[in-house]
Amino acid sequence: MRSVMIDNLTLAFDQQVLFNDFSFSLVKGQWTTLLGSSGVGKSTLLRAIAGLENEAIQQGKIDFSPQSKIAWLAQEDALYPWLSILDNVQLEAHLSGRKNQQTVEKAKALLEQVKMIEHIHKAPYQLSGGQKQRVALARTLMQEADIILMDEPFSALDAVTRYQLQNLAYTLLKDKTILLITHDPQEAIRLSHRIAILKGSPATITHQISLPDDLPRELNQESLWKLQKELLDELASGDLV
């Protein structure tokens, strides 16, 4: 079953056509990754799916399964500096005036899951980059969305923190429909049921790769190391063998 269907989409930004007659879909309950170099248009496409780039859509349509709700997990944690960690997780309820004891308890439970419960009364500036992304992940979970759009959420973190948060994100979001964009082949292999490679201008999908349902993967198999090299070669210029 498809959760998102992109049909013949033409997307232009600042008079540059980023996608032309582009079609793509997301399978419900799976992690799909768009892998491409910086500047290919990945983030703009993600914003269009989220409804944040409607003026850039020249033609085509983006359809969702009925009653779908979308949440966003970005590279920048976008925490409100004047709110506590607890209120940042409750941001949707806080801004709409619906914050109550139930939302407080739910936020605390999520912060417990991401191992941030001891920091609930701190301000964002008191946290490390990895801690901020844990809070952002809890805030995403708080929204109870069906579809999660992930815009390189771990790319600014050190290697160990990135590895830990990849594992945590998969554990907490494994039943959701995920669209992850990244320029890191290793991350794509670890967290994807399907990888689609974006190249060119306008961008097109040059290859799609389906992988077994064994996420998050440990890259200790020769076949996965080989695949990582092939993905790097394809991003650089060559073709997959």
**Nearest residue to 60 (alpha-carbon basis) of 17, 5, 8:** 8
Instruction: Please state, in angstroms and rounded to a whole number, the distance separating the CA atoms of residues 22 and 10.
Output: 6
Q: Rounded CA gap, 62 and 81, in Å?
A: 34
Both structure tokens of 216: 């998050």
Report the largest interatomic distance among the alpha carbons of the chain, rounded to a whole angstrom.
Answer: 56
Q: Which pLDDT does position 240 carry in this prediction?
A: 53
Extents of the domains making up the chain:
2-69+146-237, 79-144
Digitized pLDDT (tens) for each residue of the chain, 241 residues in all:
889 999 999 999 888 999 999 999 999 999 999 999 888 999 999 999 999 988 899 999 999 988 899 999 988 888 999 999 999 999 989 888 899 999 999 999 999 999 999 999 999 999 999 999 999 999 999 999 999 999 999 988 999 999 999 999 999 998 899 999 999 999 999 999 999 999 999 999 999 999 999 999 998 889 999 999 999 998 887 455 4
Question: In this predicted structure, what is the pLDDT of residue 241?
Answer: 46
pTM for this structure?
0.93
CATH 3.40.50.300 fits domain 2-69+146-237: yes
Our CA angle for 163, 235, 30, nearest 5°, is 50
